[in-house]
Amino acid sequence: MTTTQLDAVSVTTQASVYFDGKCISHGITLADGTRKSVGVILPATLTFKTGAPEIMECVAGSCDYRLAGTEAWVKSSAGESFSIPGNATFDIRVNQGGEPYHYICHFG
């Protein structure tokens, strides 16, 4: 099931912009103190590093991802999610000509 709305949140109004504008996100905090980020990744192949474990939920578009230590790219589309361990790296590839990858990052 795709998350379409997050209610009762505090939003960081200044965006975090990474990779020369290829990834843009906003931090949010839910009423219970849970932190998340919502954002978009434009067509590119990018490598991210995690601090804490994360779950990447696709809300629109799609991406391919590859976890550190693996060779295979795995597709993630709207309504799907994937987990990344803490203190790890992973690659995300958003293909040219397709819709950008819209996501919610759930921090663990």
Rounded Cα distance between 26 and 6, Å, is 13
Rounded Cα distance between 23 and 31, Å, is 26
Q: Which CATH superfamily is domain 9-107 in?
A: Jelly Rolls (2.60.120.10)
In the chain, where the domains are located: 9-107
- pLDDT (tens, 9 = 90+) of the chain, 108 residues, equals 889 999 999 999 999 999 999 999 999 999 999 999 999 999 999 999 999 999 999 999 999 999 999 999 999 999 999 999 999 999 999 999 889 999 999 997
* Structure tokens belonging to residue 2: 């795709």
If you search the block for the tokens 């803490």, which residue do you land on?
Answer: 86
